[in-house]
Amino acid sequence: MVSFEFSQSNDIFKNRDVLREDYTPEELVGRDEELGEYHSALQPVINNELPSNIFLYGKSGVGKTAATRFLLGRLQDAARSITELDLHAVRVNCDGLNTSYQVAVAIINRLRDPENQIPVTGYPQSKIYQYLWEELDRFGTILIILDEVDHVNDDSLLYQIPRARDNGYVESAKIGLVGISNDLSYREGLSAKVQSSLCEKEVYFPPYDAGELREVLEQRTQVAFHEDALSDEVIPMCAAYGAKDSGDARQAINLLLEAGDIARNENAPQVAGEHVEQAKRKLESDQITTGVSKLTEHARITLYALTTFAADGETPVTSPVIRERYLALCSASGIEPLSHRQMQAHLSELKMMGVITGREKNLGRGGGKKVLYGLNYDLRLIVETLEQTIDDIGVHRSVQAFVENHSET
Ligand SMILES: Nc1ncnc2c1ncn2[C@@H]1O[C@H](COP(=O)(O)OP(=O)(O)OP(=O)(O)O)[C@@H](O)[C@H]1O
């Protein structure tokens, strides 16, 4: 009988919490060049000059937020010892805030006392801006950090804030805007006037390479794990996987955390390479489950159709072949099928998500091209994530046979 008693186990982790998202390390490693540029863009603040507007961009997990927290912390420490400098920073994550109006309300509420908050609707935009200028003008220097700035659909605020002083909306406040985005094409989509003011100084954060990820992981390991808790191959493996996937430090740290958890659950004396492999499979499985759960019904049936070929060992297959199976599945379950073009769009979506592969094949001289589709993940994993769809539509004989063959393992 399994015992579900809890007892403290800390032989692997010294401080597991530092592997979690909300932890910011004391020092950032592997980002010297970017920190140098960012630091010099912030330098006017400490000289009590007008701050530059700064635009930080780079893919997810490359240290933009960590660098901002780190440098702002230092800047605020330095500012405290300078009497004439009244520095304040306000950070707003624009995820879920789609308009300038909503972002302006969020900034105002961040700066106001809890009992003086304003509701998210009900005022004309001009009134909201008036409140905003009043709040900002209470400070000597104020930095407004807009994380995920690309989520804001209009650029009114990005246009107005840099001009607030020139236009006389604020009298004394020196305002600096820091925009952060992981959408690499966002900058190009901005109007020329907004681009030139928001992107006065730009800092690009490239993906981490394996060497840099090793530095990040080694630094974190010293605080997170007991000495000798990791076998030698663990950090290089996590770094190599991280660099190959996307150069995302968050992913690499997550992989290390998951490997540590697996080793601890097994009561293993050390985290080993095998734990990293298992952790990778587990994270992939979580990722695909989340991805598939967000798909529409037809995208799932399209994936199910392709899965039936994979179960018969017949992949890769072309879209017309998948189409026939898709139509049969729809018809068997009384669902109105989509057009071939719409089904094709779902194949492209699945490919973009990385759930399936689509390789172009040249058909020889004058023959054009065709795309051959296959699954990008373990078949068993896909069948598991499609469980609900299979229940709803009925199991196909190929999948049935596959499940029966694998039910004991
Ligand atoms: N150079 C580094 N040294 C130590 N830890 C780092 C470094 N870069 C990133 N990290 C860690 O990786 C995780 C992700 O970093 P961060 O949130 O800064 O990425 P980001 O570029 O802002 O990503 P996103 O655009 O998704 O918000 C955080 O836990 C952070 O502490």
CATH assignment at residue 217: 1.10.8.60
* Among 114, 89, 93, 115, CA closest to 102: 93
357 in a structural domain: yes
2 in a structural domain: no
What is residue 370's predicted lDDT score, i.e. its pLDDT?
Answer: 86
- Ligand-binding annotation for 370, yes or no, is no
Same domain, 172 and 219: no
Q: What is the average per-residue pLDDT within 142-162?
A: 93
CA atoms within 13 Å, Cβ hemisphere of 238: 33
Confidence category of residue 385, pLDDT binned at 50, 70, 90: confident
Give the domain-ending residue among 204, 223, 255: 204
Same domain, 48 and 166: yes
Q: Tokens representing 270?
A: 């050390």
pTM: 0.79
For the ranges 81-90, 218-227, 251-260, which has the lowest average pLDDT? 81-90
- Ligand-binding annotation for 149, yes or no, is no
255 in a structural domain: yes
Contact 170, 136 (CB under 8 A): yes
Same domain, 267 and 302: no
Q: Which atom of ligand 1 is nearest to the CA of 63?
A: 18
Tell me how far apart the alpha carbons of residues 261 and 258 are, in angstroms, rounded to a whole number: 5
Length in residues, the chain: 409
- Ligand-binding annotation for 65, yes or no, is yes
Q: Report the residue among 65, 93, 203 best suited for mutation to probe ligand 1: largest number of ligand atoms under 8 A from its CB.
A: 65
What is residue 408's three-state secondary structure?
coil
Helix 125-136 to helix 100-111 angle (10° resolution) is: 40
Interval between CA 289 and ligand 1 midpoint (Å): 24
Overall domain count for the chain? 3
Tell me how far apart the alpha carbons of residues 141 and 263 are, in angstroms, rounded to a whole number: 49
Give residue 336's domain range.
295-405
Q: Report the residue among 29, 62, 92, 203 best suited for mutation to probe ligand 1: largest number of ligand atoms under 8 A from its CB.
A: 62
Neighbouring CB atoms inside 10 A of 316's CB total 18
- Ligand-binding annotation for 63, yes or no, is yes
Same domain, 374 and 398: yes
Contact 84, 48 (CB under 8 A): yes
What is residue 64's predicted lDDT score, i.e. its pLDDT?
Answer: 95
Interval between CA 16 and ligand 1 midpoint (Å): 17
Same domain, 285 and 307: no
pLDDT digit string, tens, across residues 293-327: 889 999 999 999 999 999 999 999 999 999 999 99
What is residue 122's predicted lDDT score, i.e. its pLDDT?
Answer: 87
16 in a structural domain: no
Q: Tokens representing 239?
A: 């770094």
Give the domain-ending residue among 180, 204, 228: 204
What is residue 378's three-state secondary structure?
coil
pLDDT digit string, tens, across residues 12-63: 999 999 999 888 888 899 899 999 999 999 999 999 999 999 999 999 899 9
Contact 217, 252 (CB under 8 A): yes
pLDDT digit string, tens, across residues 228-273: 999 999 999 999 999 987 789 999 999 999 999 999 999 899 999 9
* Among 243, 250, 233, 330, CA closest to 287: 250
Same domain, 71 and 39: yes
251 in a structural domain: yes
pLDDT at 214 over 80: yes
Same domain, 250 and 162: no
pLDDT at 9 over 70: no
Same domain, 193 and 86: yes
Q: Which residues contact ligand 1 via a Cβ below 6 A?
A: 21, 24-25, 28-31, 58, 60-66, 182, 216, 219, 249-250, 253
Same domain, 375 and 307: yes
Neighbouring CB atoms inside 10 A of 117's CB total 12
What is residue 84's predicted lDDT score, i.e. its pLDDT?
Answer: 80
Tell me how far apart the alpha carbons of residues 249 and 25 are, in angstroms, rounded to a whole number: 13
What is residue 162's predicted lDDT score, i.e. its pLDDT?
Answer: 92
Same domain, 271 and 301: no
376 in a structural domain: yes
Same domain, 137 and 170: yes
